[in-house]
């Protein structure tokens, strides 16, 4: 049987970064992907993802520090420009589930440059937003955009250049642990691995269930809409930032990025689904709801041009999983909980460190697989992308 030291299952963003980081360490690594590389059935396709340090907990702010460093390292190695700084606005209305004070405290604690703005100041500096009174706004100049599909392709190419083997259209059908590793059953025959990293997002429980394990993931079809502003110059980078509306329903959006449209979406559609039943047909109700929000808060954003679907696999507490599966030390899990893209290179590095040495210098204790909140499917906490 073919033997490799490390198998990474799933070559979306997180798996591609893990394969790259393992290969960069000189490790013997095979990446397996059930569909074609760069496919649109998962969570890592399309153009833009928000990157930000503005999180309500210091653990995420510190992990974001690592992510900015890891993106910069990868940009230097690959020669690709993947991160674009735009600045970011985080709107916290009075009924926000997480008060603005939590963001301000964690940014202050971690020494991140930021400013609290009242609605009049927002309207003056960013007249594109019609922010109602009573909204506290947090501005962070270092927020921005990461290019999603280009990042994934660059990670895969750099992994291959360092000796990683990537096999697409090769579904993993079962994992069988033995005395010195894991037999990975695939559509193209079995592979024996020293250890396995699962970056399978919405599909994760298919492989865990036969092992008697599961992560309580809620899988939803999400959608993002591209709007065509009549005055697109007002929405160019430099004049218009990335933004998140952290109300009881959370919305987020981007400036023009590669085309004269602005992208916006609702975070957490609550359109539950099974991955096999994904329709790729956007919800008309969600589209109408978003159009109403945009017309009210960003009146010049124009009308909808196209809507693209995507997929969330959310943990009950919306926190990541970066850990070995309890009771299965040879199986590592990386789950991005619907806001993981910005941390892609850090997921890859940390998972590669854990796979090769068992330890990592980043504090990932918040993301343990045996935390109590993963024991049951509790209420979802909207916390933005």
Ligand X SMILES: Cc1cc2nc3c(=O)[nH]c(=O)nc-3n(C[C@H](O)[C@H](O)[C@H](O)COP(=O)(O)OP(=O)(O)OC[C@H]3O[C@@H](n4cnc5c(N)ncnc54)[C@H](O)[C@@H]3O)c2cc1C
Name the residue nearer to ligand X (CB basis): 118 or 270. 270
Q: From residue 36 to residue 55, what is the string marking binding to ligand X with x (rule CB under 6 A)?
A: ------xxx----xx-----
Of 4, 7, 10, 196, the one binding ligand X (CB under 6 A) is 10
In whole angstroms, the minimum distance from the beta carbon of 230 to ligand X comes to 25
Pull the structure tokens for residue 1: 């049987």
List for the chain the helix, strand, coil content (%; round to 5). 30, 30, 40
Please, which residues bridge with residue 166 across strands?
31
C-alpha to C-alpha distances, 269 to 13, 180, 312, 321, 378, nearest whole angstrom: 21, 43, 9, 21, 17
In whole angstroms, the minimum distance from the beta carbon of 224 to ligand X comes to 5
In whole angstroms, the minimum distance from the beta carbon of 12 to ligand X comes to 2
Is there binding between residue 11 and ligand X (CB under 6 A)?
yes
User: Quick one: which H or E segment has residue 72?
Assistant: helix 58-78
In whole angstroms, the minimum distance from the beta carbon of 95 to ligand X comes to 23
Q: From residue 268 to residue 307, what is the string marking binding to ligand X with x (rule CB under 6 A)?
A: ----------------------------------------
Of 199, 321, 350, 355, the one binding ligand X (CB under 6 A) is 199
In whole angstroms, the minimum distance from the beta carbon of 151 to ligand X comes to 10
Binding segment (CB under 6 A) for ligand X, from list 27-35, 155-163, 176-184, 356-364: 27-35
The interface with ligand X within residues 157-196 (CB under 6 A) comprises 171-172
Name the residue nearer to ligand X (CB basis): 129 or 203. 203
Q: Let me know: does 148 contact 139? Beta carbons within 8 Å.
A: no
Q: Is the backbone of residue 209 left (phi > 0), alpha (psi -120 to 50) or beta? A: alpha
Name the residue nearer to ligand X (CB basis): 171 or 213. 171
The interface with ligand X within residues 65-124 (CB under 6 A) comprises none
Please, which residues bridge with residue 183 across strands?
176, 192
Residue nearest ligand X by beta-carbon distance = 12
Q: Let me know: does 10 contact 199? Beta carbons within 8 Å.
A: yes
Q: Let me know: does 139 contact 131? Beta carbons within 8 Å.
A: no
Is there binding between residue 310 and ligand X (CB under 6 A)?
yes
Name the residue nearer to ligand X (CB basis): 131 or 337. 337
Q: From residue 329 to residue 368, what is the string marking binding to ligand X with x (rule CB under 6 A)?
A: -------x-xxxxx--------------------------
C-alpha to C-alpha distances, 105 to 55, 89, 210, 242, 248, nearest whole angstrom: 10, 16, 43, 21, 21
In whole angstroms, the minimum distance from the beta carbon of 39 to ligand X comes to 6
Q: From residue 233 to residue 272, what is the string marking binding to ligand X with x (rule CB under 6 A)?
A: --------------------------------x-------
Please state, as a whole number, how many other Cβ atoms lie within 10 Å of the Cβ of residue 99: 14
The candidate with the shortest Cα–Cα distance to 314, out of 383, 244, 211, 242, is: 383
The interface with ligand X within residues 212-231 (CB under 6 A) comprises 222, 224
The candidate with the shortest Cα–Cα distance to 255, out of 239, 270, 231, is: 239
CA distance 250 to 213: 31
DSSP of 237-264: TTTS-EEEEESSSEEEE----SSS-EEE
User: Quick one: which H or E segment has residue 91?
Assistant: strand 88-92
What is the SS3 assignment for 173?
strand
Binding segment (CB under 6 A) for ligand X, from list 31-39, 94-102, 104-112, 255-263: 31-39
Interface contacts to ligand X, rule CB under 6 A: 9-15, 32-35, 42-44, 49-50, 171-172, 199-201, 203, 207, 222, 224, 265, 310-312, 336, 338-342, 385
């Amino acid at each position: 049987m073919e033997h490799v030291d490390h198998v990474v299952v799933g070559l979306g963003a997180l798996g591609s970064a893990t394969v790259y980081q393992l290969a960069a360490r000189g490790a013997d690594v095979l990446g397996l992907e059930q569909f074609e590389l760069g496919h649109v059935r998962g969570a890592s396709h399309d153009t833009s993802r928000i990157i930000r340090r503005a999180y309500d907990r210091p653990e995420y702010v510190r992990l974001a520090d690592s992510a900015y460093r890891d993106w910069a390292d990868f940009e230097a190695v690959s020669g690709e420009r993947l991160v674009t700084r735009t600045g970011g606005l985080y709107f916290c209305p009075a009924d926000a589930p997480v008060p603005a004070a939590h963001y301000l405290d964690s940014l202050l604690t971690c020494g991140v440059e930021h400013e609290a703005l009242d609605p009049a100041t927002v309207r003056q500096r960013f007249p594109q937003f019609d922010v109602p009174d009573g909204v506290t706004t947090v501005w962070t100049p270092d927020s921005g955009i990461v290019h999603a599909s280009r990042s994934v392709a660059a990670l895969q190419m750099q992994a291959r250049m360092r000796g990683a083997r990537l096999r697409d259209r090769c579904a993993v059908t079962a994992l069988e642990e033995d005395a010195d590793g894991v037999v990975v059953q695939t559509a193209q025959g079995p592979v024996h691995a020293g250890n396995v990293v699962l970056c399978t997002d919405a599909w994760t429980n298919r492989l865990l269930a036969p092992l008697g394990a599961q992560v309580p993931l809620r899988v939803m079809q999400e959608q993002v809409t591209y709007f065509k502003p009549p005055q697109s110059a007002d929405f160019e980078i430099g004049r218009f930032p990335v933004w998140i509306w952290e109300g009881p329903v959370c919305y987020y959006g981007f400036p023009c990025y590669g085309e004269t449209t602005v992208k916006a979406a609702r975070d957490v559609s609550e359109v539950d689904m099974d991955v096999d039943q994904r329709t790729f047909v956007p919800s008309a109700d969600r589209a109408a709801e978003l159009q109403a929000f945009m017309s009210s808060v960003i009146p010049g954003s124009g009308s909808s041009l196209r809507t693209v679907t995507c997929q969330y696999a959310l943990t009950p507490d919306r926190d990541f999983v970066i850990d070995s599966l309890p009771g299965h030390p040879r199986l590592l899990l990386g789950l991005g909980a619907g806001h993981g893209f910005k941390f892609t290179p850090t997921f890859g590095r940390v998972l590669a460190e854990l796979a090769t040495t068992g330890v990592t210098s980043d504090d990932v204790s918040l993301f343990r697989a045996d935390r109590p909140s993963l024991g049951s499917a509790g209420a979802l906490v909207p916390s933005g992308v």
